[in-house]
Amino acid sequence: MTKYIFITGGVVSSLGKGIVAASLGRLFVSRGYKVSTQKFDPYINVDPGTMSPYQHGEVFVCDDGAETDLDLGHYERFLDKNLSRINNVTSGSVYQTVIEKERKGEYLGATVQMIPHITEEIKSRIKKAVTKDNPDILIVEIGGTVGDIEGLPFIEAIRQFKIEQGIANSLSLHVTLLPYLNTSGELKTKPTQHSVNVLRSYGIQPEMLVLRTQVPVEKSEKDKIALFCSVNKDCVIECKDMKSIYEVPLYLEKQGICDRICEILHLEKREPNLKNWEELVDRIHNPKREINIAIAGKYTSLNDAYLSVVESLHHTGFKTNTKINIKWIASDDIKSQNQVSELLKDTDGVIVPGGFGQRGIEGKLEIVRYARENNLPYLGLCLGMQCAVIEFARNVAGLSGANSEEFDKNVKYKVVHLMENQKNIEKLGATMRIGAYPCKLDKLSKSYSVYKTENISERHRHRYEFNNEYRKILTDKGLLIAGTSPNGELVEVIEYPKNDWFVAVQFHPEFKSRPDNPHPLFMGLVEACLKRAGK
């Protein structure tokens, strides 16, 4: 029978509930439990696919093509498990289902209401996640902060769910902030007390609190919180800011969080096997060398916009005992090769990540040109491949002004374009080539040498494709088509073989990198950077 852990947040958002959820998942996996996770997002968008990265950070893509919250990336990385559409539920998707049912007359004349119709739909999503994964433990994280209007139906649904499943089968864990006041040198517990009061007013008494804090919390403070919030003393757990998110599972483990949860949920207490994870954290703390890698994008003021790319670089760093310093480059500001050479003078490699729209493209093309002409290791991701194709067409193949249809509809040399069968798609939501697609690599390519296999599967999220009309012209000039769809029609990987590492892919390898198993393409990049830096 599945046990449930419901995680809510209090006081402020961005507390790292997702990391707490993912860390708990890891701790139970390390005890041999089968764990799955689900994120509830109270906003009305059907999925985050149409949101600006500034609003929401990165859109994480699952194998099945679900466009999801970035917390699913944390879950996949910490649990080493692929998730899917059912693991991310938004208010928008819940309302959409209920309204569709209403239009079909499925409610048989009833007045359709928040309770029971919306709450029933939410509960049915929890059950679907259980049916799909059949986990011993399902961890459900409710996005936002307790008290948000949009979150109320989710809170009510989990209240009902707890009762229906039997009290001992589920647990509420509330993550809150203890603000530290510099002037008086104190941690304040009052916001936590208020937040728990709000949760209680909705009928949920948390069994466990996780306190987010900059500084260690004294036992006396924890006991006070326990008393005021009616939580057992040993269920008030501290979660201090850490240097690396991958330390969090070990920090929580030390405080016995899982044993307490096992007691509450009547689960067998088991010894965890955290040896690999401890080794990982040890490597994180003891790098033997450093390199600098630039990421050139247009959302550089919000690092979360490229979260999985950053994580993938770090994973590669863990494996190669290298501290990877990331240099953010705002591509809009770049106008010339001189400027690029100045910006990249201390970097050992560069990534152009995914993106949409024209802003910053010319700057990205300058970066690609610099990398290609100066043998600076380059990894292009999705838009980063399209830029590499445009740059090569313009500057090597002499197709002056070549561009992508996305940036110039009437351009003469449309080297990246919409394929015929995509032309009449008008809606923006969920209309891309998205999710996992197979790809076949050329055995003579650098990509093959790092993947060490011919047939790969990677996740996509884009509308435009390499234009096959230009295949011959570009390959005659030295571009290598290193990977295509199995039928050969879609170009998925290109390389510039003259360089040590110039690889660009139409997909997003960053979604599949794991802390203890970095992605081969990021390994290829980092190894080339290390070689170039003579390290």
CB of 418 to ligand GLN, least distance (A): 9
| Cα end-to-end span (Å), the chain | 52
What angle in degrees, to the nearest 10, is found between the helix axes of 152-165 and 91-103? 80
- Beta strand ranges found along 314-365 (DSSP E): 322-330, 349-352
Q: Which is nearer to ligand GLN, 70 or 175 (CB)?
A: 70
Q: Which is nearer to ligand GLN, 16 or 354 (CB)?
A: 354
Q: Which is nearer to ligand GLN, 222 or 463 (CB)?
A: 463
Question: Quick check: is 508 catalytic?
Answer: yes
Interface residues with ligand GLN (CB under 6 A) are 354-356, 382-383, 386, 406, 461-464
SS3 of residue 432 by DSSP: coil
Q: Which residue is nearest to ligand GLN (CB)?
A: 354
Q: Which is nearer to ligand GLN, 18 or 360 (CB)?
A: 360
Report the distance separating Cα 291 and Cα 158, nearest Å: 47
User: Smallest Cα–Cα separation from 91: which of 14, 163, 175, 148?
Assistant: 148
CB of 336 to ligand GLN, least distance (A): 24
Q: Looking at 508, 519, 527, 529, which residue is catalytic?
A: 508
Q: What is the DSSP string of 199-222?
A: HHHTT---SEEEEEESSPPPHHHH
CB of 96 to ligand GLN, least distance (A): 24
Instruction: Give the C-alpha distances (Å, rounded to integers) separating 6 from 40, 116, 134, 521.
Output: 10, 20, 17, 36
- Which residue type sits at 2? T
Q: Is-contact 222 208, C-beta < 8 A?
A: no
Q: Which is nearer to ligand GLN, 31 or 461 (CB)?
A: 461
SS3 of residue 39 by DSSP: strand
Q: Which is nearer to ligand GLN, 144 or 384 (CB)?
A: 384
Q: Looking at 239, 510, 527, 529, which residue is catalytic?
A: 510
CB of 48 to ligand GLN, least distance (A): 14
Question: Quick check: is 67 catalytic?
Answer: no
CB of 308 to ligand GLN, least distance (A): 12
Q: CA angle 324-327-329, nearest 5°?
A: 150
Question: Quick check: is 382 catalytic?
Answer: yes
Report the distance separating Cα 340 and Cα 358, nearest Å: 19
Report the distance separating Cα 413 and Cα 65, nearest Å: 31
Q: Looking at 258, 262, 382, 439, which residue is catalytic?
A: 382
CB of 232 to ligand GLN, least distance (A): 47
SS3 of residue 259 by DSSP: helix
Residue numbers annotated as active site: 382, 508, 510
